[in-house]
Amino acid sequence: MRIPTMTDVLRARTLIDPILPRTPMWPYPALTASTGVDVLVKHENTQPVGAFKVRGGLTLLGQMPTVERECGVVGYSTGNHAQSLAYASSRFGAPCTIVMPTNPNSAKANAVRALGAELVEFGTTLEDARECAEKLARERGARLVSAANEPELITGVGTLYLEVFEQAPDLDAVIVPVGGGSGAAAACVVADAVAPDCEIVAVQSAASPAAHDSWRAGEVVHRPNQTVVEGLATGTGFELTQHIMRERLADFVLVDDDAIAEAQWLLLRDAHTLAEGAGASALAALLANAERFTGKRVAVICTGANASERELRTMSGMP
Ligand SMILES: *Cc1c(COP(=O)(O)O)cnc(C)c1O
């Protein structure tokens, strides 16, 4: 498999720049006070689909040959990867089919349909959805898009980290939420090229530690996948992203789902920012390891805003 380079990231940026404005990154005095760390929040929650993944989808679709694009793409996802592919497909006029496990987060399912993609509900796990997507892609001659073993998704997401280091060239650490690992792999590729002294720290939920355990073991492993935090939910590590993270990641930490919910609330209160669980997990990792980051300048990536209606009601104290 081809390892993405900084040159690929720069090429992705020329493709994305005319489509997506760069997202802001801000310090919040209240958040600095409650964490004791010089923390900056990178706002991928402001993307048109509410998550950073749109950068990868646009890069993948934008670089597909026209004939291939006309045959369409098939993806499987519990949410944001689906919205990213649906958005990019509609942007580039490609047919898009998304397979989700049955009874998906209705906000995410509706968003996918509203973007013009066909939504297929199948099975109970993401693994079931993947098998169904593989079959559909074969039948339709469409391009199957994996959740993480895709170089274009990594290079597209690399544009996020290029922005981070342009906005704050003096960072000591960047904390990145991990599911399949495309985001953390992208951070590694870019930091290696433009911020060699900056540590990249990954975070996953302790209830779904497959990527974390794969990184520690030095090989892809499977683990129970029990987190309620959608973007971080995976039962396996992925070869490509693990390979990149192995070389460059400074550390990989785990946080409990409860700590993620607490960080979601802090972002809402102190940074006026609505994050889904995954989008708050980098802040949760910072809070759980505060002494390690004291006196340092740290960026936390707020990767997404697509909280379910249940999460929204819980956060606001509504029944
Ligand atoms: C997908 C996702 C993640 C995890 O990203 P990977 O690139 O799969 O590791 C984190 N946060 C949100 C909001 C996501 O949608």
237 lines ligand 1 (CB under 6 A): no
SS3 193: helix
Q: What's the gap in Å between 283 CA and the centre of ligand 1?
A: 14
pLDDT of the chain along its 319 residues, tens only? 789 999 999 999 999 999 999 999 999 999 999 889 999 999 999 999 999 999 999 999 999 999 999 999 999 987 899 999 999 999 999 999 999 999 888 888 999 999 999 999 999 988 899 999 999 999 999 999 998 889 999 999 999 999 999 999 999 999 999 999 999 999 999 999 999 999 999 999 999 999 999 999 999 999 999 999 989 998 999 999 999 999 899 999 999 999 999 999 999 999 999 999 999 999 999 999 999 999 999 999 999 999 988 888 888 776 6
Domain count, the chain: 2
DSSP 86-104: HHHHHHHT--EEEEE-SS-
Cα–ligand 1 centroid distance for 278 (angstroms): 7
Ligand 1 centroid, distance to 304 Cα (angstroms): 8
106 and 169 share a domain?
no
Same domain? 274 vs 169: yes
Q: Which of 126, 145, 164 lies at the terminal end of a domain, its last residue?
A: 145
176 and 247 belong to one structural domain: yes
- The CB of 45 under 6 Å from ligand 1? The reply is no
Asked whether residue 241 is domain-assigned, the answer is yes
Residue 22 DSSP code:
P
Q: Indicate the pTM of the whole model.
A: 0.96
Measured in whole angstroms, how far is the alpha carbon of residue 314 from the centre of its chain?
23
252 and 132 belong to one structural domain: no
Tokens of 36: 């004791």
Query: Is residue 251 in some structural domain?
Result: yes
Considering the domain architecture, whether residues 169 and 308 belong to the same structural domain is answered as: yes
Q: Could you tell me the residue range of the domain that residue 190 belongs to?
A: 6-51+151-316
Q: How many Cβ atoms sit within 10 Å of the Cβ of residue 191? A: 23
Tell me whether residue 33 is in a domain: yes
What is the rounded CA–CA span in Å between residue 95 and residue 207? Answer: 35
